[in-house]
Amino acid sequence: MCAIFGIGFIKNHRVVNSDAIKLIIKNLFALSQDRGRIATGLAISNENEVSVVKKNVAASTFVNEKEYIDFVEERIDFGVERKLKPISVIGHCRFPTKGSAENNHNNHPIVANNIIGVHNGHIGNDDHLFKLFDKIERKAEVDSEIIFRLIDFYSYQSENIVTEVTEAVKKASMFMEGSYACGFVSSRNPHMLHIFRNSGPIDVVFFPKVGMVVFSSSLVYINKATAVADLGRMKTIEMPMNSGIVFNLYANKMYRYKLRERINRSGYSNLEY
């Protein structure tokens, strides 16, 4: 199985140490690579764009390559003079599955038009779904691509940045057969961090002292990776099977939903910090 992780910074967060965040990301990669060494990738969003770097190497090699170092140095900067500060980060360590890692389209984060996402698990009916949705473009062979293509397909015309995207996730989940735990962002609304799963493992925590959300395939990875920084008390956020969470990082709000039920529009809660 692969490993996924992500970090979200809420508006008016108190993270000021850029080097500490870079080290946490590096630690998450180091821990996650035990679940997949065929390829490694990272996406970083700011208010203008979502940028991606990925390569068919293990994380231990990836984080020491110039391309990765330059990518992170340019985008992880919380200095007072920095105009475009990072909003969120999502990462992936890939285990050998369908689709050669030599084709970088097969590696994560998957870029599906506006949707950029990471997936842990396996979708068994992706070939059938690409035939069924014959207007959806397929750039890769990997099964994960269908997840984010379907979400993009259903949400592309959306004007409601929360409910329509979550409805898109729910619609996509109705078609997919297999297991999944996913994180994604949309280039249309990069301040929204989306997480959902059916049976795939994922843990989500919030650090109120600094205003930072972290998710990973393992809580152990989070505990070890974040121990290098003074982030304060960690608050666990429940992530049941067959559910999703949207973090509106600008509004400091969290929105919960179930994959196979209509949206309860009272599902908002504040992220207290």
Domain boundaries, the chain: 3-270
Measured CA to CA, the distance from residue 3 to residue 35 in angstroms comes to: 6
Which residue in the block uniquely carries the two structure tokens 């690409």?
A: 130
pTM of structure: 0.93
Return the pLDDT at 45: 97
The neighbour count for residue 248, using CB atoms within 10 Å, is 20
For 46, 126, 144, 198, 248, the CA distances from 75, given in Å and listed in that order, are 8, 34, 26, 32, 20
Measured CA to CA, the distance from residue 178 to residue 24 in angstroms comes to: 31
**H-state helical runs in the chain:** 18-32, 59-62, 66-75, 126-132, 145-155, 163-175, 219-226
Q: Spell out the per-residue pLDDT of the chain, length 273, in tens.
A: 799 999 999 999 999 999 999 999 999 999 999 999 999 999 999 999 999 999 999 999 999 999 999 999 999 999 877 778 999 999 999 998 899 999 999 999 999 999 999 999 999 999 999 999 999 999 999 999 999 999 999 987 555 555 678 889 999 999 999 999 999 999 989 999 999 999 999 999 999 999 999 999 999 999 999 999 999 999 999 999 999 999 999 999 999 999 975 444 445 566 654
3-state secondary structure of 23: helix
Nearest to 188 by CA among 223, 215, 152, 222: 152
**Structurally, what CATH architecture does the domain formed by 3-270 represent?**
4-Layer Sandwich (3.60)
Return the pLDDT at 265: 43
AA identity, residue 63: V
Return the pLDDT at 164: 79
Return the pLDDT at 96: 81
Q: Which contiguous run of DSSP H or E holds residue 6?
A: strand 3-9
Report the helix count and the strand count for the chain, using DSSP H and E. 7, 14
